[in-house]
Structure 1
Amino acid sequence: MTKRKYLYLSVSMVALAGGMSEALAGGFALREQSAYYQGMSFAGNAAGGASISSIFWNPATVTNTIGLTFESHSSLIAPEATITPDAATRTTITGFGGSGNDSGDMANDAWIPASYTGYQIDESWYLGLAINSQFGLATKAGPAWSGQTFARTSEVFSVNVNPMIGYKVNDMLSLAVGMQFQYFDVRLTSATGLPAGSGTAALKGDDIGFGFTAGLLFTPMEGTDIGVGYRSAIFHDLDGDFSTPVAVGPLPAGTYGISTRMATPDMVTLSAKQRITDTFRVMGTVEWTNWSRLKEPSVVLDAGAQLRTLPFNYDDSWFFSVGAEYDWNEKLTLRAGAAYELSPIDEDIRSLRLPDDDRIWLSAGLSYKPMEHLSFDFAYSHLFSANDTKVNIDPNHQDYNGVFTYRGNVDSSVNIVSASMRYTW
C-alpha cells in the first residue's frame, strides 16, 4: 500500500468516529411531536390549547386536562437531500480511483409516533405522561458515491418517556415538573476507500440516560396565555464498538470496544396565545436549543487509549413561528402557520453526513370533532432551505481527511404529513 493511500485510509477511519457529531445535528432533533401544533408550524406550542401534546414543550399545560385525556400522534416525514460535487471535486475523486457520482436522495423517509396522557386528580393537581422520539431519522447515500469515505449511512434512534406532575396555583398560574428517561442508539458507517466495492467501517453505541422537564403557564387575563417550558440535557455514556476491515494507524483490522460521554442539548420554549374573537386566535413561539454544549467529547477505546475527539462545534439554534386558528363551526377548526429555523450548522462545519441549513416552514392543518369526547387532527408542512446550501470540506474544515478537498451543492426539502386522535373521558 502506498504511503498516500495508507494516510488516506487511516484518516478516513478516524474521521468516521467523528461522524457521530453529524448524527445529532439540527436535522436529527425531531420537532414533529404533534399533529395539532404542526398545523401552525408549532406556534403557541408551549402556551397550551385543545391538545395536551403541548406537554412535550411545557409540562405545565397538563393542567388544561379535563378528566382523563389520551392522544396518539403519527407523522410521516418525507425528506429529500442530494449532494452534487463540483467539477474540480469530480476530477479529484476519479483521480483516486473513485466515481464522481452525486449522493442520490440520501434522506430516508420515517414514521414518527408520539402519545400523551393527562389525568386531572382534582382542581389543583394533574398527572401527565409523554412518550416520544426526540432524536432520530437516517441518511443513506447511493452506492459508490463520491463522498463515501466521509459517510455511507447514519442512523439514530431514540425513545423518551416523560412522566410529570402539574399544580394549578390559581386561575392565573400553573407549574409542573417531570422526569425524562431516554434510550439513545446510533450507528454510523463510511467506506474504507473510493473505488466501488470498498469495505465499510462502522461505529455504534447506545445508552439510557436521565433528565428532567419543567414549565409554567401564566394567564394574565382571560384569553391570553403565556407558557415557558424547559427540557434538560441528557448525558449519555455510550458503549459500543468500532469495526474496521483495514488497519487504522497502529490498530489492525478488527472490532474494538469504545465508549464516549456526550449530552443531548437542553431546550427552552416560550409561547404566547391571544384570543381575538370567540372563534379566532393567534399564536407565536420562540425556541432556543443549546447545541453548543456538545463541544468535543472524547471517544475512548476500552483498552484505555483515546481514539479521537468528536468535533461537534455547533452553534446554538433558534426557531421562530407564528400561526393562527379559526373555529369554522363547533366541529371544524382550521389553522395555519409559518416558521424560520436557524440551524446549528453553517458552511464552516457542514458535513456530508448531514448537510443541514436554515429552513423555512409553511404549514396548514385542521381539527375535526365528530362527537363530544372524540377529536381528530390533521396537518401538512413543507420545509425548504432558506439559503443556497454548499459543502466545502477544505483544510480548514474539521472533517478534512488530509488528502483531498470536497466541494459541492446541496438540494433539499421536506414534506411532512401528520394525524392524531384525541379522546377524553
Structure 2
Amino acid sequence: MSPTALRTRLLTAVAAVAVTAPIASTAFAAGFALKEQSVSGMGAAYAGVTAGANGDASSMFYNPATMGLVTGIEVVQTATGVIVKSKVDSASATRAARLGGTAIRGDASPGDIAQDALIPSGYFVYSVNNDLKLGLSANGPWGLVTDYGDAWIGRYHGIRSDLRTYNFAPTVSYRINPMITVGGGVQIQYAKAKLSQASDFGASRLGRPGALDVKSDVTGDDWGWGFTLGALIEPVKGTRIGLAYRSPVNHTLTGNISFTGLPAALAGALPGQGAKADLTTPDVASIGLYHEVNDRWAVMADVQWTNWSRFRELRVNIANPALSSLTEEHWNDTWYYSLGTSYKVTDKLTLRGGVAFDKGSVDIDYRTPRVPEQNRYWLSVGAGYQVTDSIRVDAAYSHVFVPGTSVALTDDLTGAEAGRGNLNVKYKSSIDLVGLQAKFTF
C-alpha cells in the first residue's frame, strides 16, 4: 500500500470514529450507565469482554489493553437500538400531614416515561508494530431520559431528567512480553443535562396549596476528563485474563434556570438566572476471563464493580441561594456478573450466548422518580459472520428482565425535600436491545 493510500485510509477511519457521537437516552444498566458499547460483546451479555472475548476493537472501551489483540488497522462501528418501556402502573400523591394531607391533583397514569433510543459507538486501532497499538474511540457511557409530562401528580419531585454524555478516548497499548499487555487512555468527556420539576407556589407563597404551580427548567453543560487503565494476561495460549479500571470524571454543569407558570404580576419575583450542578460519573473496575475449550468452543465470564456510592445527592446551586435545591440520593455500589459462550459453526460463522445479573444501585428508601431503577436480568444471543477477508458483521439481541419497581417517598416537612409531598408509584418495565456492528480491517 502506498503512503498516500495509507494516509487516506487512516483519515477516513478516524473521521468515521469522530462523527459517531452517541445519542444517549434512557439508562439501560444500573444507575445511569449505558453498557451498550459493543454488539459483539452484547451477544454474550458482555461476558469476557474485559479479556477481549468478542474478538474486535470494541473491547477497548472495557479494557484498553485488548487493543493488543488487533493486527494491522481496524475500524469498528456499532449501533444498538433500544426499545424500552417503563410504565407507571399506579401512582398516588398527597401533601404532608401538617398541610392537611390532601390529595395532589394531576395525572396519576402518565404512561411510558422512557424513550426508545439509538446508541452508536466507534473505534479505530492502528498497529505501529506487533507490540505498540494506538487507538481512538467515541462513546456515550452515561445517559438518562425520563419524562412524566408537566401535569403528573409527582411533578414536585421531578418532571423531566435528561443527561447525555459524549466521551472521546485516545488510547495506547503495549505488549511487554508474550504473556502481558498493558494499556491506557485519556477520557475527554462532554456532558449536558436538563432537569425539570414543579413547585407548589400556592402553598409556599399564597397559603393556598395547589393554587399555583411554577415549573423550573435547569440546563447546563461541561467538559471533563479522566483516564482508563488495563492489563491483559495470557498465561497459556487460548486463555486470557483481563483487568481494567475506568476513572471517575468530575463535571460542574454550568447553565441557567428558567421559570414558567407565573402570572405577569409575579413574573419579576423569579427571573431567569445562573445555575450550577456538580456531577461525578462513577469509577468502574472489572475482571474478565476467556478460555478456549477447543478450536471451536470458548467460555467466558466478567465481573464489574461500579462505584455508585459517589452519588450521594443531587444539588443544584442557583445564583439566588434561596432557590437552590437538594435531593438526597444515597446510592450503593453495584456489581454486574455475566457468563457466556461462543461456538464457531464454521470458520466464518460464530454464535454467542450469555446471561447476566445487574444489581440495582438504589434501595427503595431513596429511590426517586428521576431514576426509578431496579435489579436487571440479561439474556443475550448473537452471531458474527466474516463476509470477506476485511469485513465482518455482528448482530445481537438482548432481553433485559426488570422486576416491578416502586417509589415510596414521605414528606414530613423536614429535610431537603420538604414540601414536595408524599408519593407512591409502581412501575412495570422491560428492555429489548437489537444491535448491528461492522468491522473493517486493512
Q: TM-score, normalised by structure 1?
A: 0.87
Matches within 5 A, 1:2-81: 26-49=30-53, 50-81=55-86
Of stretches 140-149 and 124-133 in structure 1, the one that deviates more from structure 2 is: 140-149
Partner-residue secondary structure (3-state), 2:328: coil
The alpha carbon displacement at 1:408 in A equals 2.4
Structure-2 change in CA distance of 1:61 and 1:196 (3 Å): farther
* 1:219 aligned partner, one-letter code: E
Equivalent AA in structure 2 for residue 171 of structure 1? P
> Shift of the alpha carbon at 1:152?
1.8
Residue 180 and residue 156 in structure 1: after superposition, are their counterparts in 2 closer, same or farther (change >3 A)?
A: same
**Within 2, Cα distance between the matches of 1:238 and 1:245?**
22
The corresponding residue for 2:291 is 274
Stretch moving more, 397-406 or 368-377: 397-406
Extract unaligned runs of 5+ from structure 1: 1-21
Match of 2:248 among 219, 233, 252: 233
What is residue 186 of structure 1 aligned with on the other side? 193
2:226 is equivalent to residue 211 of structure 1 = yes
Q: Residue 61 of structure 1 aligns to a residue in which SS?
A: helix
Mapped to 2, the partners of 1:401 and 1:309 lie a distance apart of: 10
TM superposition shift of 1:404:
3.0
Q: Which amino acid aligns with 2:441?
A: T
Output the CA distance in 2 between the equivalents of 1:192 and 1:288. Answer: 37
8 Å contact from structure 1 (residues 393, 400) kept in 2: no
Name the structure 2 match of 1:101.
Answer: 108
Instruction: Tell me how large the CA RMSD over aligned residues is.
Output: 2.8
Q: Which residue of 2 aligns with 1:146?
A: 153
1:130 aligns with 2:145: no
Q: Deviations for 1:331-370, whole angstroms, at most 9, x for unmatched residues?
A: 1110010100001112011111221001001110000111
Contact 1:311 1:398 in 2 (8 A): no
Alignment correspondent of 2:4: none
Q: Share of identical aligned residues, percent?
A: 33
| Equivalent residue for 2:237, pick from 212, 222, 228 | 222
Q: Secondary structure at the match of 2:40?
A: helix
One-letter amino acid matched to 1:47: A
**Closer/same/farther in 2, CA of residues 101 and 299 from structure 1, 3 Å limit:** closer
Displacement after TM superposition at 1:26 (Å): 3.0
Residue 9 of structure 1: aligned partner: none
The alpha carbon displacement at 1:315 in A equals: 0.5
1:201-238 Cα distance to aligned partner (Å, 9 max, x none): 11111100010000000001111100011110001121
Structure 2 SS opposite 1:154: strand
Distance 1:303 1:152, change over 3 A: closer
The one-letter amino acid paired with 2:65 is A
Change (3 A) 1:196 1:140: farther
Q: Does 1:244 align with 2:259?
A: yes
Aligned residues: 399
Task: Pick closer, same or farther for the CA change 1:137–1:300 going to 2, 3 Å.
Answer: closer
Q: Which amino acid aligns with 2:316?
A: V
- 1:379 aligns to 2:396 (yes or no): yes
Aligned to 1:13: none
CA distance in 1, matches of 2:62, 2:27: 22
